[in-house]
Chains A and B, each alone.
Chain A
Amino acid sequence: MNKIKYIIILITSLGSLVSCELDEMQAPNAGLYGSILDDTTGELIEQDIIRGGELELREFGYENVTPQFMNYQVDGTFRDSKLFANKYKVFPLKTNFHPIDTMEVDISGQTKLDLVVSPYIRILNPNITMEGNVITATFTLNQTGLGNVQKIGLYAGADKNVGEPVRLVKAEQNVNAPVAPLNPQTTYTISIDANSEQDLKIGNLYFFRIGALYDAPNARFNYATAVEIQL
């Protein structure tokens, strides 16, 4: 009986040791990183971290390839350091800049890819100030296309990832018209009264960001950098 017990223990332990071996597949060891840059000013074009633009990657060598999607950081950079080394078709979707052609990128090791594009809207002279817990933002706009600017907004959030999707409070205005240079330059003013907002607690730190949305299919917001304000 003892012998049988030991044999059983031996077999099960052998079995469990053998089963711990990993499969023979290689881990992904390549990556893609880069920035979205304004073709005129060379600055980063800010994005939304969720529900914002995406970079679609289609790997070569598969018949019905399932596309992968990369998100951007709020500041306009992106990085995915765990991709399989291969040739990819890269295409930015849901952009806040004029669409560009699909790129074919050979990703091996950490590959840099900068997108130099023309943003739909540039937010110029942004200024966010607070007086008596009323936050006021003033700015001017400049568009690069021929369509309308749909709306503008001031978004308040708890961290620097604030945007239209990630917000506690918003204050929006519809524009539905072209802005400079097609129309005369105007200064826009939007304000949020923290005293009457349930979600902005006096004494806390919040981030405020100015956004503008262009009227194009699947367009996303263009932003100015978020400003930190202590209420």
Chain B
Amino acid sequence: MKTIKNIFFILVFSFIATSCNDGLDLLPTDKITADELFGDPAGTKLYLADLYNRLPIEELTYFPQQGFNFNAGGPNNGGFTSSMLTQFAHHSERNTFINGGQLNWWDDAFKLIRDVNLFIDIIPSLDISESERALYMGEASFIRGFAYFGLAKRYGGVPIILSPQEFNGDPESLKVPRNTEKETWDFVLSECDIAANSLGESNGRRASKWAALALKSRAALYAASVAKYGGNVGLTGEAVNLGLIGLPESVAADYYQVCINASNEIMENGPYSLYKPNPGSADEAAENLRSMFENPNLAPEEAILIKGRTIPGDNYGNNYDIWFGPAQKRNGWPHPGRYCPTLEFADLFENYSNPGADGKIVTTVDGDTENYNGFDPARQYIHYGNPVDFFADKDARLRATVVLPMSEWKGDIMIYQAGFIKPDGEPKIETNTSIKVGEQFYFTYGTENPDEHSGFDSHGGNMSKTGFGFKKFLSTDPVVPGWNRSYTDFAEFRYAEVLLNYAEAVVESDLGNATNAANALNATRRRAFHQTDIPLTIENVLRERTVELAFENKMIWDLMRRRTYHTTFNNTRKHALKPVLDLRGTPPYEYIFIRDRVRGNDPQTFDINEYYRNIPGIGLNGLVPNP
């Protein structure tokens, strides 16, 4: 028995000793080699689709705190968008402001760049025709240029890495110092050139020559603004001294010219135009625009590059409909109504009867729009039987973008009421109470049941604090009360932006064609049913840009690149327009509007160090930190 046991053990040991030799040389069975992947055009397409998904496109799943593609299971981040960091929107629950934890994108950026570089390295060795090779190179350049654009606007100068790094055991050799901000922007623009020269006219949802030029126009405008306005901010430190952040003012004109040329190329030779540029009425204009944002596929003449969300579900859809629609239409979802466009936003829209100036909303007979002290019985308020009439003269884009108080949405009237004035003159605003006048009960928020109003009630954090609801990008179908059920597509580049880039570049630099720029500025206005043109001034261009590109995650970058973030936010508050039912006098009772502060909003000040994000991991990568 013992010898059998011994023999058994010896056999077992010998097997073990000899069988392990090639264990470490086994090829993995769950990975494919580059040759296998790229040898098949379908494989290349798959690889590229993944790269496209990881582009820094700030669409409806982008949140400044969580970053891109935030739509995995249960993406509950409270719905804080980048517009809420500007003066044009407020969150329904609490204040939010820019800080070091927001707008970052570093690790994922360089992972994307490495994967593009892997692709670029392999293109020469693929078994494809020369024209296909050029197309792939163009597409890869577009992706790499877009990635570096996302980095440059956040961090300034970053390490420009043109080929995937190999680790040979020496970590020091992997450290790449930062390039200057100028080198980084020049690299972005040169990648756009390669893409524009190699790509075709259109390629479905993939990059085309025109998408590359639109990116070039946007990036050049960004760099030009930093060059022109960066000097009056006063950032100091090693990064400034080495040119890693900031651009000299002398290069602004060159970048403006690049923007002008790229935009002009699209305007003159591109197949694009505005969607429904000549509406028959303001209401028609409003509906055209609203439906274009609900579904940009309606406007292939305007959308230059669309990021699509074809199916709902975790990792596929977005959450704009559940987070941001009015509370009355939440359809069982517990957290609606987070997006509150502010009075500052509504004030900006022109009145048709007074084009060329901000249409500041006048609520009192004395016309004073600077008084935010709340209800004052000594002042005479203008009364409206139907509050929607109050906004009748406003640019159609206001009602295409926001839900106005007492306006119709999805078949019902959306009630945004902040309170009432009792018959004895005492105001009851933003407090939950009711009063009986005659035979009728009146409630401060319009109705007794919170499910039947959408404003000012603190119930659930679901109600607007500003008097305006959110409409842009929302579906007119009933809300599906679940995460990631929306699948609205997003036009990342559209023709309107190219026109406004052109107008801004011309007015800032006095280069280019001023007549064409004035036409570009007024084209988007005519599309909103304005009948009179306005002159090309910087105020007009900036106003038009804000109202046209509202809430498309572009405003915050305008504040950054023009260095107006710190001048806009210096102990600055945001304001609301509060519709209040005036129960004084005799029925029928009418509404008054009160210009007031947003409840719960505190003064906010922008720290100039926030113009550039902090570079992570500098202890390890040895990069020069941003201030």
A183-225 interface bits toward B, Cβ cutoff 8 Å, 1 = contact, 0 = none: 0000000000000001000000000000000000110000000
Q: Is B310 an interface residue (CB 8 A)?
A: no
Tell which of B236, B372, B618 touches A93, judged by Cβ atoms closer than 8 Å: B236
Q: Is B3 an interface residue (CB 8 A)?
A: no
Give every chain A residue within 8 A of B587 (Cβ-Cβ): none
Q: Is there an interface contact between A198 and B372, defined as CB atoms closer than 8 Å?
A: yes
Q: Is A82 an interface residue (CB 8 A)?
A: no
Q: Is B73 an interface residue (CB 8 A)?
A: no
Q: Is there an interface contact between B619 and A64, defined as CB atoms closer than 8 Å?
A: yes
Q: Is A2 an interface residue (CB 8 A)?
A: no
Q: Is A98 an interface residue (CB 8 A)?
A: no
Q: Is B203 an interface residue (CB 8 A)?
A: no
Instruction: Kindly provide the distance from the CB of B572 to the nearest chain A CB, expressed in whole angstroms.
Output: 12
Q: Is B373 an interface residue (CB 8 A)?
A: yes
Tell which of B372, B607, B619 touches A66, judged by Cβ atoms closer than 8 Å: B619
A51-B607, A64-B622 known; A167 and B571 CB under 8 Å?
A: yes
A interface secondary structure, majority: loop
Q: Is B605 an interface residue (CB 8 A)?
A: yes
Instruction: Kindly provide the distance from the CB of A100 to the nearest chain B CB, expressed in whole angstroms.
Output: 15
Q: Is there an interface contact between B236 and A217, defined as CB atoms closer than 8 Å?
A: yes
Q: Is A34 an interface residue (CB 8 A)?
A: no
Q: Which of B540-582 contact A (CB under 8 A)?
A: 571
Q: How many residues of A contact B (CB 8 A)?
A: 10
Q: How large is the interface on B (under 10, 10 to 19, 20 to 34, 35 or more residues)?
A: 10 to 19
Q: Is A165 an interface residue (CB 8 A)?
A: yes
Instruction: Kindly provide the distance from the CB of A28 to the nearest chain B CB, expressed in whole angstroms.
Output: 20
Give every chain A residue within 8 A of B619 (Cβ-Cβ): 64, 66
Q: Is there an interface contact between B373 and A198, defined as CB atoms closer than 8 Å?
A: yes
Instruction: Kindly provide the distance from the CB of A196 to the nearest chain B CB, expressed in whole angstroms.
Output: 9
- When chains A and B are docked, how far (Å) is the Cα of A165 from the Cα of B608? 13
- When chains A and B are docked, how far (Å) is the Cα of A171 from the Cα of B605? 17
Q: Which of B574-625 contact A (CB under 8 A)?
A: 605, 607, 618-619, 622, 625
Give every chain A residue within 8 A of B605 (Cβ-Cβ): 51, 165
Q: Is B74 an interface residue (CB 8 A)?
A: no
Give every chain B residue within 8 A of A217 (Cβ-Cβ): 234, 236
Interface core residue of A66, A165, A167, A218 (most chain B CB under 10 Å): A218
Closest to A169 in B: B571
Q: Which of A158-174 contact B (CB under 8 A)?
A: 165, 167, 170
- When chains A and B are docked, how far (Å) is the Cα of A51 from the Cα of B569? 14
Give every chain B residue within 8 A of A167 (Cβ-Cβ): 571
Closest to B622 in A: A64
Instruction: Kindly provide the distance from the CB of B608 to the nearest chain A CB, expressed in whole angstroms.
Output: 9
Give every chain A residue within 8 A of B372 (Cβ-Cβ): 198
Give every chain A residue within 8 A of B571 (Cβ-Cβ): 165, 167, 170
Q: Is there an interface contact between B622 and A218, defined as CB atoms closer than 8 Å?
A: no
- When chains A and B are docked, how far (Å) is the Cα of A66 from the Cα of B622? 11
Instruction: Kindly provide the distance from the CB of A116 to the nearest chain B CB, expressed in whole angstroms.
Output: 23
Closest to A217 in B: B234
Tell which of A51, A170, A218 touches B236, judged by Cβ atoms closer than 8 Å: A218
- When chains A and B are docked, how far (Å) is the Cα of A170 from the Cα of B603? 13
Q: Is there an interface contact between B618 and A218, defined as CB atoms closer than 8 Å?
A: no
- When chains A and B are docked, how far (Å) is the Cα of A218 from the Cα of B234? 5
A98-130 interface bits toward B, Cβ cutoff 8 Å, 1 = contact, 0 = none: 000000000000000000000000000000000
Give every chain A residue within 8 A of B618 (Cβ-Cβ): 64, 66
Give every chain A residue within 8 A of B622 (Cβ-Cβ): 64
Instruction: Kindly provide the distance from the CB of B606 to the nearest chain A CB, expressed in whole angstroms.
Output: 10
Give every chain A residue within 8 A of B373 (Cβ-Cβ): 198
Closest to B608 in A: A218
Closest to A197 in B: B373
- When chains A and B are docked, how far (Å) is the Cα of A93 from the Cα of B172? 32
- When chains A and B are docked, how far (Å) is the Cα of A217 from the Cα of B608? 12
- When chains A and B are docked, how far (Å) is the Cα of A217 from the Cα of B235? 8
Instruction: Kindly provide the distance from the CB of B311 to the nearest chain A CB, expressed in whole angstroms.
Output: 46
Give every chain B residue within 8 A of A198 (Cβ-Cβ): 372-373
Give every chain A residue within 8 A of B235 (Cβ-Cβ): 218
Q: Which of B275-293 contact A (CB under 8 A)?
A: none
Instruction: Kindly provide the distance from the CB of A203 to the nearest chain B CB, expressed in whole angstroms.
Output: 17
List 20 interface pairs A-B (beta carbons < 8 Å), by A numbering: A51-B605, A51-B607, A64-B618, A64-B619, A64-B622, A66-B618, A66-B619, A66-B625, A93-B236, A165-B571, A165-B605, A167-B571, A170-B571, A198-B372, A198-B373, A217-B234, A217-B236, A218-B234, A218-B235, A218-B236
Binding site for A on B (CB under 8 A): 234-236, 372-373, 571, 605, 607, 618-619, 622, 625
The 8 A-B pairs of least Cβ separation, nearest first, read A218-B234, A198-B373, A217-B234, A218-B236, A64-B622, A64-B619, A64-B618, A217-B236
